[in-house]
Amino acid sequence: MSNSQLTVSQITGQAVLQLDKLNKIFNADTPLQNHVLHDVSLRVCPSELVALVGTSGSGKSTLLNMMGLLDVSTSGELRIQGHLIQGMSEQQRTQLRSESIGFVFQFHHLISAFSVLDNVLMPLMLRFGKPSKEQIEYAEHLLNEVGLSNYIAQSTSRLSGGQQQRVAIARALVTRPALVLADEPTGNLDTQTADEVFALFERFNVEHQCAIVIVTHDPRLSARCPRTIRLTDGRIVYDGPSADLPSVFTVTP
Amino acid sequence: MLFAKPLGQLGRSLWIEWRIALRFLADNPLQTFLISVAISVGAAVIVFITALIMGLQNNTIDKTLGTQAHIRIEATRQHNILSAAPHGQYLWVLESPRAQRLQTINNWQEVRDALDQYGVLTTVSPLITGPAFAQNGTARASIALMGIDPNRYDGIIKLQDYLRAGRFSVGASDVMIGSQLAEDLGLRVGDKLRLDAGDDRQAVSKVVGVFELGVRELDSRYVYTDLKQAQTLLNLPGGITMLELKIADIFDAEHWAQRFKKLTGLHVQSWMETNSQLLNALSSQSMTTQMIRVFVALSVIFGIASVLAVSVVQRTREVGILRAMGGSQQQILRVFLLQGGLLGLAGSALGVLVGYSLVQLFNTMSELLFVIRLEPSMLLSAIMISTAAGVIAAAVPARRAAQYDPAVAIRYV
């Protein structure tokens, strides 16, 4: 993804994700008050691949939960594909999440009671009920793309960590979301497997034209993303091309 | 047609809830099995106890009411009529109760025909009954002379079924006597006996049938003849002393007795009044059964609720995943409600089967006592109630699961 394209979409205002002065305060107005996010503003355009980095406790996961509509902000505005989230009901947020957002979590989070194929189909089944032939074919196609076409009917508990994460990626993509959010998707994997999984993100970013925001601790992987956003103590301290990230930040925490 | 579309939508969206609920249950087979067994034990106890008590009560009622009418209508009791006290004075009276001589019901044919119009009454049977002696040679026995209309009396006591010897017939000189009386007086079918109702009113009759009602008192006292002979002997020409009624729903007897009392102004008594102790026993039995059923049902409900409460905690992470994958709170709610319903259904289906086998076992073991019948509707309602109870039991845990914060739930290990 080149920087020139990024600039064009920013000008035309076609942001997939737009945050304006987002604040999150846990336990507001109590002695345990914890101001996690301070005036976070950013926009993510279609087909962008963004690394979200920062030390633990810097607010990365909270920010990702906001983006994924799993949590609501205390103040500020958040828009997904132009839809303002503040003021939406829980049901409306669930629907928007189901239509626009795919998730990949650190611990792959598959449902072991279901087969590999059913796990991939789950977002579609929750939205539409019994899956259609096309939907099943698309899920099988995705599993084929992540290299798991031989494991379709198997239980997820028999898969290795890397394989499970690849199922989770296929699941995140099955609804053809505009935005995929990944919370340390390689955090639990060895270096080689992590590289393979990350390569999938890069590939799907191009092939499926979806914006991807990846939270990662791994400076090697964040360097492979065109853009990096760095969070420190709930504030954005850097937002720009990964190559230009000041070296003081690249030291592994 | 109006509801076809929303129903179709609900069916489509329920598909995944069914699937998840079934998978969650199948994913933890031991837990599912154990709670199903617990539910089935509860359901089996309910089915068996209900059937047993119902059988017992029906048996008691049959035994008691098989040989008596549900409602009896007699002539108004005689009482003293006192003259009014002079103005401004009190009257002190020492009253001795009137002797109740045999009285006929006025216009009994009209009363009978009027009662025939009531659909709730299955039988309206006239009876003339009074005391007499039966004599064979030098042996005498006090008896109750029963003058009946043989066609109508069939609905009160089906004497045909109780006949031990001879045939069912009452007539000018034919009588049927109880087995105990036959033994006491040394009579057999075809023998003659003398009936003496006092005041030199006597008749010689032929024994044509011997019956055994199974109640010693009745078997040693009842002598059936036709209305006419009894009227002559008891000196009540053309009259009857009692109208006996049977009613479709026996527990309505008292209600109707009160209505007929108002309607006819006669002395009306229902079996419920004359057998108040039996009624007491029956109703306290029913109450005990009801209590057992309620408490067993409660324990089943709390059993399901506690298992699902644990299951909801176990499934916290999965609930978080499902929510993140676009599952709504309502869907999560339905998944756990369905699990409750399915547990109730499976457990009670098994329980009904066990209860049914227990009843069959009881029937083969105690053949002589009484037979328990199981109504299919009772089994069906047991299953339906248990399923509903399962859904109700699941309500609290399901709400809790639906309200999990997905961001927190997903990190639950």
Structure tokens that stand for A15 in this block: 């942001």
Nearest to A98 among B318, B326, B406 (CB): B326
Q: Specify the pLDDT at position A247.
A: 65
Containing B50, the helix (H) or strand (E) segment is helix B29-65
pLDDT tens, position by position, A107-138: 768 888 899 999 999 988 888 888 889 899 99
Q: Specify the pLDDT at position A3.
A: 45
- A131 in contact with chain B, both atoms CB, cutoff 8 A: no
Q: Which residues from A are below 8 Å from B406, CB to CB?
A: 70
Q: Specify the pLDDT at position A4.
A: 43
% of chain A at pLDDT higher than 90: 5
pLDDT tens, position by position, B300-330: 888 888 888 888 888 888 888 888 888 888 8
pLDDT tens, position by position, B83-141: 888 888 888 888 888 888 888 888 888 888 888 888 888 888 999 999 999 988 888 89
| Distance from the A246 Cα atom to the nearest Cα atom in chain B, whole angstroms | 32
B406, A112: Cβ pair inside 8 Å? no
pLDDT tens, position by position, B45-79: 888 888 888 888 888 887 777 778 888 988 888 88
Interface of B with A in 175-204 (CB under 8 A): none
Domain ranges of chain A: 3-250
pLDDT tens, position by position, B25-44: 888 889 889 888 888 888 88
Nearest to B328 among A65, A91, A105 (CB): A91
Interface of B with A in 53-82 (CB under 8 A): none
Whole-number Å distance between alpha carbons of B314 and B311: 5
Interface of B with A in 380-399 (CB under 8 A): none
Mean pLDDT throughout B270-282? Answer: 84
Q: Specify the pLDDT at position A10.
A: 47
pLDDT tens, position by position, B207-264: 999 998 888 888 999 999 988 888 888 888 888 999 898 888 888 888 888 888 888 8
Mean pLDDT throughout A47-51? Answer: 88
As to burial, measured by CB atoms within 10 angstroms (0-12 exposed, 13-18 middle, 19+ buried), residue B243 is: buried
Whole-number Å distance between alpha carbons of B167 and B235: 28
Closest among A48, A44, A42 to A3, alpha carbons compared? A48
Q: Which residues from A are below 8 Å from B329, CB to CB?
A: 90-91, 94
Chain A CA closest to residue B321: A109
Superfamily of domain A3-250: P-loop containing nucleotide triphosphate hydrolases (3.40.50.300)
User: Confidence band (pLDDT; 50, 70, 90) for A213?
Assistant: very high
Q: Specify the pLDDT at position A22.
A: 83
| Ranges assigned E (strand) in A33-173 | 34-44, 49-53, 75-80, 83-84, 101-104
Q: Which residues from A are below 8 Å from B410, CB to CB?
A: 70, 105, 109
Q: Specify the pLDDT at position B176.
A: 92
- Evaluate if residue A12 carries a pLDDT over 80: no
Q: Specify the pLDDT at position B333.
A: 92
Mutate to test the interface with A, among B14, B16, B28, B405 (most CBs of A within 10 A): B16
Whole-number Å distance between alpha carbons of A75 and B135: 110
Predicted ipTM > 0.85: no
Domain ranges of chain B: 11-62+279-409, 108-240
pLDDT tens, position by position, B4-18: 555 555 666 688 888
Chain B CA closest to residue A65: B407
| Distance from the A103 Cα atom to the nearest Cα atom in chain B, whole angstroms | 7
Highest mean pLDDT: which range of A24-28, B115-119, B333-337: B333-337
How many other C-beta atoms are found inside a 10 Å radius of the C-beta of residue A31? 5
